[in-house]
Structure 1
């Protein structure tokens, strides 16, 4: 599954025009740039891709456009999670038609179903298409954990193949890695190297929108046996990771702010999100400049 979906996956932002419309040309340009800089997979319409404020038609159009841009040079994983099982299954079918290679499915949110209902939800969606499914465990957004025992049961399903882990439960991740063949992806950039070092498949990264090559180099160094360099590269990225992901604004907002300063396709965010202020944008750009000129 790591070979199929890749190991250096970017949770790609969704570019919009100044008026807020979907920018398919910009999406194609950004996708091609990210792949050229080291991403071997792109996750579309996830949290970073502003999935709550894009329509079903926009989601399908985005997959088709990015597929045309990257051809077979990178995998495409489509975020299709909703709190409605039937709607999620519909999005799964549309993503498969549009050219996705895999499906990212978040736990149903707001209604906070119990674990048996969550398990049934994932099984029904997994049975909808022939695509591999990535469980997205992000309880601080959904209000509901995909409990480790639930993941262990779901791992037996032939198309439930991976996990994007934003649980911040590193012990549970290691236990599941030891007991299953699931491809485990770090969903929080501060865990990229740590999870990889204990058998993870790689990362699904918001920060890869702006430093795709640097994050790829962390894994490349580890694979080459230069664990000291891998650790140094991870540490060098930490200030930017913190500013993008943990400085009080959603990663979508901060990633787009920095991309706009780099003249890469991004555009505004959609309401209720609001564009980052000038001070935040300047800090992001300063940290970015410091990182890329360090030469580590």
Structure 2
């Protein structure tokens, strides 16, 4: 329990022109991520357009990846939904498949969600999972969900279920909040959702990162994770590149759309631009702006990105 990977890509999910998940392309992408620095992949997170995919296809996609050779203990599955029932269904499937953990955000429809409502959602989830409940990672992304997971809620849940909750991903972009989580909850493994904050988070005892940029530069994140304490010129360069790619480039665009556009441009595979509604590809002018900003950084991306998608 709690043996979580530390450098994780919040994987994009390739979709065919018919709107079907391209499982073969996703398989190749996961292999590429794990071969180039990631020790884990998060499936169906925000970057992976999770709310746009149905229960059956999310389960079948996970089953395909595992049966095709992706080690289940390298996978963390985003399972948060608007209902406890759906969240429990996906969580139980992932945990019974042997996945390293499940990443769960509070419901995102009724806003603002109260602390008592968020607490009760997680209580009902864990009670529904019963003996299968393990390795649950909080997903704190109030900008997207409308529901923060505040410290009081975390404390109450850990006290009630001390062997179930093992980590938290913080996607607020606030280093102060991440540091506070590390200090208040020593039993939780804290992940940054922002590439540039991995290094300072590690300095205070944080665990790792779950990021969109890892779809592109898993090598740089792995280098920072492994070598930050050396403070070498090489690791400082890796950190600088992550700052430029994340803070100065990707954050200026819608993330899922931008990452897919970059993969499409690097690979030459137009099919990577397809998204599941309601998301749509970047307008051409914005795409050109993104690729112009990216151009100085492309030499730092590992070879082989994005190959194998079906048009």
TM-score of the superposition, structure 1-length normalised?
0.89
1:224-282 Cα deviation digits (max 9, x unpaired): x33654333211222211355311x3211111111112227834112221212341452
**Match for residue 83 of structure 1?**
82
Residue of structure 2 in register with 1:232 after alignment: 237
Unaligned segments of structure 2, at least 5 residues = 303-311
- Correspondence list, 1:181-220, <5 A: 181-220=187-226
Matches within 5 A, 1:1-296: 4-72=3-71, 75-111=74-110, 112-127=112-127, 128=129, 129-156=132-159, 157=161, 158-180=163-185, 181-223=187-229, 225-226=230-231, 229-242=234-247, 245-247=250-252, 249-263=253-267, 266-276=272-282, 277=284, 278-283=287-292, 285-292=294-301
Give how far 1:5 is off: 1.7
Instruction: Between the two structures, name the one with larger relative contact order (CA 8 Å, sep ≥ 6).
Output: 2
Please name the residue that 2:308 is paired with.
Answer: none
CA RMSD of aligned residues (A): 2.3
The number of aligned residues is 290
Please identify, of 226-235 and 148-157, the stretch whose mean Cα deviation from structure 2 is larger.
226-235
Gaps of 5+ in 1: none
Q: C-alpha distance in 1, partners of 2:194/2:277?
A: 24
CA positional deviation for 1:153: 2.5
Q: CA deviation at 1:94?
A: 2.5
Q: Verify the 8 A CA contact 1:42 1:74 in the aligned structure 2.
A: no
